[in-house]
Each structure stands twice: as structure tokens, then as C-alpha cells.
Structure 1
């Protein structure tokens, strides 16, 4: 009876999870920041809810600032008052402190 060769065991040591591989790739090409910004914009409706999303005209991120254009003045006033909470919800969704400031237009 033949023993399993050591090459099989050494191969298993080289195995890296897909998640770790993708994170290494994003780090190597310095894409993680941009990916986080895209995640923020994409998760706006999920974080803020359907009612706020319907009154949102534009959402974009630039230099760590989240810019949100709203079509409702009362909603804008309400969100300005809760700016830190909005920033916290967005950053919690992404899992990193991506947004440093929120600007409502």
C-alpha cells in the first residue's frame, strides 16, 4: 500500500480563500477605497429606506464626503438635523469609516 505523497500536503498549505485573495488584489491595486464609495452609493436606499430614496435625486461620494441632492426641503432639513446619525448608518453598512462628512444639496 502506498503512502500519500508530501506534495499533496504541501499543496494544501498554499491554498488561500477566495475572500483573502480578492482583498489582497484590491489592496495591491489600491481599489478598496473606490469600492467602498460605490458600496455607499449602492446601499443608500437600503440604509435610508424607500421613502427617502424616492425623494433623492442624486448620491455621490467625493474625497470622503457624501453628497446627496434631495427634492424635498422638509426632508433635507430633517436629515441635516440627523447628519451624524446618517453618517454612522452609512459607515456601519460598509464596515469602515468611509464617509467623514455628509452634505445635503
Structure 2
């Protein structure tokens, strides 16, 4: 004879939610999602733009929705300035939401 385990009414089963949903709720409650997205952009720069651009990138940071990128190559800087909108769209599509409103090449 096998006993079936019966959940009591006081069980916490009803209070459980998937870890993914719990983390999203935590990020929203502490308003950390924006900062997490910014860190994701900086860490994904090489994957988004390619190795050749990443090798010529000296510094990259985000401040108030603006992405600042310091490059060591003037010709590359000129080329990327001409494609600012495309770069911004590639980054925002990678994140899945509009994180960057402007790109500044230094």
C-alpha cells in the first residue's frame, strides 16, 4: 500500500513562481533593469559590433541613455559616425528594448 502525499492548505506551493519571474520582479522592484541592460550592452559590444571594431575600442560606457565609445582609429570613427543610427538600432535590438537613445564616438 502506497500513501499519497497530500498537500495541506498551509502549503507554500501556491506562493511559488518560476525563478525567472522572481528575478524579473526583483529587478523591477529595485529599479535595476535599466542598469542591468547597460552592463549587458557594454559586455556585448564585441559580439554586436564584431572583433575588428572591439579591438579598436579603447573605452565604452553609458551615461543617461547615451553610449560613449572611444576609438583608436580615426577612419573607423568616421565610418561609425556615419552609421550612428544603425549602430543604435543594432544595440537596442540585441537588448530587446530601447536602452540607448544616442551614440557618441570619441
CA distance in 1, matches of 2:46, 2:4: 57
CA distance in 1, matches of 2:70, 2:22: 37
- Which residues of structure 2 form unaligned runs of 5+? none
- Which residues of structure 1 form unaligned runs of 5+? none
The alpha carbon displacement at 1:58 in A equals 0.3
Match of residue 90 from structure 2: 89
Match of residue 70 from structure 1: 71
CA distance in 1, matches of 2:102, 2:59: 16
Q: How many residues align?
A: 105
Mapping 1:42-61, distance limit 5 Å: 42-61=43-62
Q: Please tell me the root mean square deviation across aligned C-alpha atoms, in Å.
A: 1.9
Match of residue 41 from structure 1: 42
Match of residue 22 from structure 1: 23
The alpha carbon displacement at 1:5 in A equals 2.9
Q: TM-score, length-normalised on structure 1?
A: 0.91
Q: TM-score, length-normalised on structure 2?
A: 0.90
The alpha carbon displacement at 1:15 in A equals 1.9
